[in-house]
Structure 1
Amino acid sequence: MGRRSYDDDAKTFKSKNLEYERKRREKLSTRLLMLRSLVPIVTNMNKATIIDDAITYIKELQDQVETLTRELLQETEATSKEVAKPKINDFDLAEEMKKWGIQEEVHVTKIDGNKLWVKMIIENKRGSFKKLVEFLDTYGIALIDTNLTAMKGALLITTCIQGMDGQTLEVEQINQWLLDILRAI
């Protein structure tokens, strides 16, 4: 009886090893097929060739990355050394805006609670939007969901505004106040 249990244990041990080895080979085959599908040129279908071709392909990709990185750095250096192109002056922008019949305007509408929706069309002067944001910040008004479009010498600004400290914003007061700020810019 002692011998029989030994044989049973050996058979169980062998069958477990065979099962593990079969699963390992299947896993390896599946991964080789995946690798083969990723490499555009596979010269032969044996395992060693698939791996060699993958290594060659990866090295080619690394060389391409290096070349592109060098080119990008050269372009970046070249553009940073270029002399800045002269900017269109503010007078030209104002004329462009007038030519297209665009008028400066401000519209303020209450959305809900303490939120107002604002649409402004202003002359596209250098730094005008930055100054507007600074003025609003100084008076405790936050811009929310702001869109800015520059076209034909004008800036179209659409935004929601809200008092930062829970202050109540009145439509007429904010409308007039924004017009005054825009004239001062």
Structure 2
Amino acid sequence: MSKESTLTDAISYIKQLQQQVLELQIELSKIPDEDGEKQGSASSTETMAPLETIQLQGKVELNPIGKTKYHLEMIYKNITGAFTRLLEALHRMGAEVTTVSSVAFSGFSETVFCLEVKDEGVIHMTELRQQLLAIVLNLNCTI
């Protein structure tokens, strides 16, 4: 096959694709979208629907992973000073943070702690969970 015939075939194939694009744009413009407007303009793909407001209540999960070690997962509203308040509360309760991982997205934070308690009797899981949940719910109310 010569270069000329290859180029001729490529050009005809591109023209066929362009014709298909036009036909599909016409077909797409005939279909109304959810708002009753016509689609098919180049700018219709550039517009974005407004973001929905996400409602989320705070969450606290506390699981033992040893005699004195705990895995703590918290989800709370991402506000200034919230992480510091949580660390201070954990310190007051006698828990030492050994590992922490935190992610913030769309106005909320998810933080995962590995905690270690020096004395088994100092900390009770249900009390700790209730105190942390109270802090998280208080953070969610504050803005």
Question: 1:143 corresponds to which residue?
Answer: 97
Question: Any conservation in 1 of the 2:98–2:113 contact (CA below 8 Å)?
Answer: yes
Which TM-score applies when normalising by structure 1? 0.43
How far is 1:126 from its partner? 0.4
Aligned length: 88
Deviation string, structure 1 residues 56-102 (Cα, Å, up to 9, x no partner): xxxxxxxxxxxxxxxxxxxxxxxxxxxxxxxxxxxxxxxx8x82343
Question: Structure 2: where are the runs of 5+ without partners?
Answer: 1-50
In structure 2, C-alpha distance between the alignment counterparts of 1:138 and 1:151, rounded to whole Å:
28
Question: Structure 1: where are the runs of 5+ without partners?
Answer: 1-95
Aligned amino acid, residue 106 of structure 2 = K
Question: 1:112 corresponds to which residue?
Answer: 66
Question: 2:53 corresponds to which residue?
Answer: 99
Which TM-score applies when normalising by structure 2? 0.54
Question: 1:173 corresponds to which residue?
Answer: 127
How far is 1:181 from its partner? 2.4
Deviation string, structure 1 residues 16-35 (Cα, Å, up to 9, x no partner): xxxxxxxxxxxxxxxxxxxx
Question: 1:153 corresponds to which residue?
Answer: 107
- Comparing both structures, which one devotes a greater share of its residues to helix? 1
Question: Any conservation in 1 of the 2:58–2:133 contact (CA below 8 Å)?
Answer: no
Question: Any conservation in 1 of the 2:72–2:114 contact (CA below 8 Å)?
Answer: yes
Matches within 5 A, 1:18-57: none
How far is 1:174 from its partner? 1.4
Whichever of the two has the greater Rg, that structure is 1
Moved more, 175-184 or 98-107: 98-107
In structure 2, C-alpha distance between the alignment counterparts of 1:167 and 1:113, rounded to whole Å:
7
Question: 1:88 corresponds to which residue?
Answer: none
In structure 1, C-alpha distance between the alignment counterparts of 2:136 and 2:56, rounded to whole Å:
15
In structure 2, C-alpha distance between the alignment counterparts of 1:119 and 1:101, rounded to whole Å:
19
In structure 1, C-alpha distance between the alignment counterparts of 2:92 and 2:129, rounded to whole Å:
17
Higher relative contact order (CA 8 A, sep 6+): 2
Question: 1:23 corresponds to which residue?
Answer: none
Aligned amino acid, residue 158 of structure 1 = V
Question: 1:67 corresponds to which residue?
Answer: none
Aligned amino acid, residue 166 of structure 1 = D
What is the root-mean-square deviation of aligned Cα atoms in Å? 2.1
In structure 2, C-alpha distance between the alignment counterparts of 1:184 and 1:136, rounded to whole Å:
15
- Comparing both structures, which one devotes a greater share of its residues to strand? 2
Aligned amino acid, residue 157 of structure 1 = T
SS of match in other structure, 1:112: coil
